[in-house]
Structure 1
C-alpha cells in the first residue's frame, strides 16, 4: 500500500506540473491544441478524484479503474502532443 500511495503522490505532482507548465506553453504556442489540453485536464480531474478515493479506501476496482484511465490518458497525450513537444526543443 505504501508503494501505491507513493506512486499516487508522484502522479499527482506530475499532473500538477503539466497544468502549471507544459500545458500553458503548448496552449500559447499551439492554440490548435487547446481542445486536446482541455480533454487532458478533464482526465486529470477524474484521476485526482480516483486518487482521493484510493487514499480514503483503496479497492481493486478503484485501482483497476485508475490503471485503465491512466493508460488511455497517456496514450492520448502521447499521440496528440508528442509532435508539438518535439517542436518546442
Structure 2
C-alpha cells in the first residue's frame, strides 16, 4: 500500500477508535458503573488504556509514512495494545454490557452507538 493511502486508512481508523473510546468514557462506562459498581476498577483501567491508546494514535497521526520500518513499528505497537485492550474489555465487561438497562438510549441513542 502506498504511504498516502496507508496514511488515509490510518487516520480513518484513528477517528473510529477515538469515537468508540469517547463514547465508552462518556456514556457506556458511567452507565455500567452506576448499575454495576463492582466494575469501577475495571472501568477505570479501561479508561486509562484509552488514554494510552490516544497517545499512540496521536503519534501515528504525526507519522509521515515514508519510512516503512518506522510505520510498521508504530502500527504493530498500536495493534498489540488495542487487541489486548479489546480482549480484556470483552472478558471483564461483556456480560454487564449485555445486561445493561439503559432505556434512555432507546429514545435518544448516544452518538457512539450511531453507525457512520
2:31 is aligned with 1:8: no
Partner of 2:39: 33
Q: Distance in 2 between matches of 1:13 and 1:87?
A: 23
Measured on the aligned residues, the alpha-carbon RMSD in Å equals 1.0
2:75 is aligned with 1:63: yes
Runs (5+) with no aligned partner, structure 2: 1-6, 66-70, 102-116
TM-fit CA distance, 1:62: 1.3
TM-fit CA distance, 1:46: 0.5
Query: What secondary structure does 2:76 align onto?
Result: helix
Higher relative contact order (CA 8 A, sep 6+): 2
TM-fit CA distance, 1:17: 0.6
Which runs of at least 4 in structure 1 moved beyond 6 Å after TM superposition? none
Partner of 2:59: 53
TM-fit CA distance, 1:86: 1.4
Q: Distance in 2 between matches of 1:86 and 1:13?
A: 20
Q: TM-score, normalised by structure 2?
A: 0.73
Deviations 1:46-75 (A, max 9, x none): 000000100011521111110000000000
